[in-house]
Structure 1
Amino acid sequence: MSGHDERRRFQRIYFDAPTDLRQGDRSWPVQLLDVSLKGLLVQRPVQWDADMTQDFDAVIHLNDKTTQVRMQVELRHEEPDRLGFACLFIDIDSISHLHRLVELNVADSTEMMRELRQLIED
């Protein structure tokens, strides 16, 4: 995974929250390993039979169960035990929740501002 780490421009935070991947009428509960402003890494589910050519919806359920981060994502890398997804679309409410989550876990506010600028410019 070091190749992915070297290319990563957004700091990932380790975060454990109930997460679902959805594709059409199929859904897989997954273990969230980490998240950033541009994607997420999850534990590969046992019954993984997704259509790799189609996008997914990722739903991260935050602590109160009513607050969610929703992203449209695409699979970027697949390993025997992990799946890495890049964010294609995120709504304003979800990016606000995700921003706050990352902000609380990133010690350097300068780094957080750099990531936000880069997100806007991409």
Structure 2
Amino acid sequence: MVERRHFKRIMYQAPATLHQTDGNWQTDVRDLSLQGILITRPTGWHPSRDDTYTITFCLHECDIELSMETQLVDNNEDCLRMKIHHIDIDSASHLKRLVELNVGTDELLHRELEHLTDLHNI
């Protein structure tokens, strides 16, 4: 199988909240990248016509909260795969730093950031 991902996913586990107009659900972050996030499918959650959600979670051992507007890409009985549609500048900075600390090299991080910029310029 050919790897189609352009962004390195990092394992990151943290409690999170999935928000939508018709409710809020407690969940857990499983992994994330500069482009998306994988979360545990919340108990009692069912897909709705509106596939736009906000996900919030705090970084470990601090009060820094990341918030991102996401779009549901895929769901199964265990998890929800979300694409980041919009993220505020503070959350984006913290996400970038989190990825930077986990990808290993500045070169790989900058390549991912350039690819992300290219995607938004299309």
Any conservation in 2 of the 1:52–1:75 contact (CA below 8 Å)? no
> Corresponding residue for 2:33?
36
> Corresponding residue for 1:85?
82
Distance 1:39 1:16, change over 3 A: same
Any conservation in 2 of the 1:14–1:35 contact (CA below 8 Å)? yes
> Corresponding residue for 1:59?
56
- The percentage of counterpart residues that share the same residue type is 37
Work out the CA distance in 1 between the residues paired with 2:71 and 2:59: 21
Shifted more, 91-100 versus 105-114: the winner is 105-114
Q: Match of 1:19, SS?
A: strand
TM-score (norm 1): 0.89
> Corresponding residue for 1:68?
65
> Corresponding residue for 2:116?
119
Name the count of aligned residue pairs: 119
Any conservation in 2 of the 1:43–1:81 contact (CA below 8 Å)? yes
Work out the CA distance in 2 between the residues paired with 1:83 and 1:57: 13
Work out the CA distance in 1 between the residues paired with 2:100 and 2:118: 19
4+ residue runs of structure 1 moved beyond 4 angstroms?
none
Letter in 2 for 1:112: L
Unaligned runs of 5+ in 2: none
Question: Displacement, 1:53?
Answer: 2.7
Q: Deviations over 1:11-66 (max 9, x none)?
A: 01000112111001511111110011011001111211242433000112112452
TM-score (norm 2): 0.89
